[in-house]
Amino acid sequence: MAVASQEHAWRAQRRSEQALGLLARVIGLLIVAAILARAVSVSLNENYPLTFWVSQLVNGLVLGGVYALVALGYTLVYGILLMINFAHGEVMMVGGVAGFFGLQIARSLGWLDGGAAALGLLFALLAGMGVAALTGVTLERVAYRPLRGAPRLVPLISAIGASLFLQYSVLLIFGVRPMVYQRPALIADGLRAGPVFVPYTGLIIFVTSLLLMGMLVAIVQYTRLGRAMRAVATDKEAAALMGVDVNQIIALTFLLGSALAGAAGVMLGFHNSVIKFNSGFIPGLKAFTAAVLGGIGNIPGAMVGALVLGVAESIGPSALGIPAEYRDIIAFSVLVLVLIFRPAGLLGEVVVEKRA
């Protein structure tokens, strides 16, 4: 009798869950349909030329490339530690600051003249990646590792503290004045295809982010380090029993993710000219959104999510006929909608609650 009523309750619950899920999907589709209808009606009204959309697409892909590099770091750390490293945007900013000084050094050594400019740029990029990697590993050691066994909100608060610490350290050391990247002549121009202009900096961002993501996938899928990372992600204790040095793997994960963020910081500096103490905050949040959008913990998902978000942000205001200053709202509305209707993200990685 008891068993039967239990089963009955279980079924009722199951049915109501299914009904709710269906309802959520229907509402989600309705919202998407409404947005599309609005976009179509606005673009028919405004009568923009095709090259306009292509230009906006280029702007969006470049923006997405930057988000992607940062989002990969979020996703890597989440995949392994199930924590969101909210200081990751600031790691990017620190990389950008280091890249600025790398560029100044390269300039004073005369590495930016003529053909050697590529060397100078590479130096700035490596400086940014190196310092960012160091920052990330230090963060992990100081702010996260001591809290590894703690409830999950604790390292999160620690991450917010670390984020503020990095921001205001840079503020106090280097001041509030933005640091201005002066583009060397080599990358000052761009490709021009009719009225569509692709700045070299944007091209470099896009190509580099694809390359670095490819490398990351290769590392995670085909190397011993990657196998160890996946093992730690699946089950820390079991991995440790199999002889994997868990602490080392986690530190290396932070190293990889932070180096990518550092690269993003330097390239953002070249693309948008200025870096200052709070430059990492909004891109960090956007990259986090991108990671959730693609399916957090999923590497290609982060890339796809970032590109979708970048394009949505740059095309969105024109397509939906809303003022451009609301573009952040587009990004964060996407975050909210994804969390409500597709919490597993676009690429649908099922997030298993490992700590439950």
Partner 1 sequence: MSKLNRKYPFNAFVTLSVCALVLAACAAPAQPAAPTQPSATEAPAPAQPTEAPAQPAADSGVVVVTAGGKIRIGGSFALTGPIPDPGKDIRQGAEIAIDDANAAGGVNGFLLELVAEDGACSGDQGTVVGNKFAADPTIVAVTGGTCSGETFGLKPILQRARIPFVSPSATNPAITSEDCDVCNRVALSDALQGQVDAEFVYNELGFRKVAVMHDSSDYGKGVAEIFRDAFVKLGGEVVAFEGAKVGDTDFRAPLTKIGVSQPELIFFGGYATEAALIAQQMREVAGLEKTKFMGTDGAYTQQYLDTAGSAAEGTFMSYVAGDTQADKLSAFKEKYIAKFGIEPEKLGPFHAQSYDSVLLIVEAIKKVAKTDSAGNLLIEREALIKAIRETSGLAGITGTLTCNPIGECGAGGVQVFTVENGAFKQVYGFGLR
3-state secondary structure of 168: helix
Identity of the residue, 236 or 271, whose beta carbon is nearer to partner 1 in the bound complex? 271
Q: Report if residue 333 touches partner 1, rule: CB under 8 A.
A: no
Answer for which of 50, 151, 177, 243 binds partner 1 (CB under 8 A) is 177
Identity of the residue, 44 or 241, whose beta carbon is nearer to partner 1 in the bound complex? 44
Answer for which of 19, 150, 152, 223 binds partner 1 (CB under 8 A) is 152
How far separated are the first and last CA of the chain, in Å rounded?
A: 31
* Percentage helix, strand, coil for the chain under 3-state DSSP, each rounded to 5: 80, 5, 20
Neighbours of 42 (CB within 10 A): 15
Tell me the residue ranges of DSSP E strands in 195-331: 196-199, 274-275
CA distance 113 to 234: 50
Residue whose C-alpha is closest to residue 318's, from 33, 42, 36 = 42
Answer for which of 175, 238, 245, 348 binds partner 1 (CB under 8 A) is 175
* Distant-in-sequence, close-in-space partners of 313: CB < 8 Å, separation ≥ 6: 60, 63, 286, 327, 330, 331
Q: Report if residue 17 touches partner 1, rule: CB under 8 A.
A: yes
Q: Report if residue 234 touches partner 1, rule: CB under 8 A.
A: no
- Choices 110-118, 230-238, 242-250, 311-319; region in contact with partner 1 by CB under 8 A: 311-319
Residue with tokens 């649908």: 348
Residue with tokens 């028919």: 44
The dihedral sign for the CA sequence 276, 278, 280, 282: negative
Q: Report if residue 151 touches partner 1, rule: CB under 8 A.
A: no
- Choices 112-120, 169-177, 204-212, 301-309; region in contact with partner 1 by CB under 8 A: 169-177
Q: Report if residue 126 touches partner 1, rule: CB under 8 A.
A: no
Q: Report if residue 7 touches partner 1, rule: CB under 8 A.
A: no
Answer for which of 292, 303, 304, 306 binds partner 1 (CB under 8 A) is 292
What residues does 190 pair with on adjacent strands? 199
Residues in contact with partner 1, shown as a per-residue x/- string from 47 to 86 under the rule CB under 8 A? -xx-xx--xx--xx--x--------------------x-x
Backbone angle region of 82, left / alpha / beta, with phi > 0 → left and psi within -120 to 50 → alpha: left
Q: Report if residue 160 touches partner 1, rule: CB under 8 A.
A: yes
Tokens representing 111? 């590495």
Q: Report if residue 156 touches partner 1, rule: CB under 8 A.
A: yes
Identity of the residue, 53 or 240, whose beta carbon is nearer to partner 1 in the bound complex? 53
Least distance from C-beta 21 to partner 1, angstroms? 8
Helices (H), 82-151: 88-108, 117-139
- Choices 35-43, 68-76, 103-111, 189-197; region in contact with partner 1 by CB under 8 A: 189-197
Q: Report if residue 344 touches partner 1, rule: CB under 8 A.
A: yes
Least distance from C-beta 218 to partner 1, angstroms? 28
Count of residues in contact with partner 1, rule CB under 8 A? 69
Neighbours of 208 (CB within 10 A): 18
CA 187 to chain centre: 24
| C-alpha dist (Å) from residue 96 to 5, 23, 77, 271 | 62, 45, 21, 11
- Tell me which amino acid residue 42 is: V
Least distance from C-beta 186 to partner 1, angstroms? 16
Chain residues in the site for partner 1 (CB under 8 A): 13-14, 17, 20-21, 48-49, 51-52, 55-56, 59-60, 63, 84, 86, 152-153, 156-157, 160, 163-164, 167-168, 171, 175-178, 180, 182, 190, 195-197, 199, 268, 271-274, 278-279, 281-282, 285, 288, 292, 296, 313-315, 317-318, 323-325, 327-328, 335, 339, 343-344, 350-353, 356
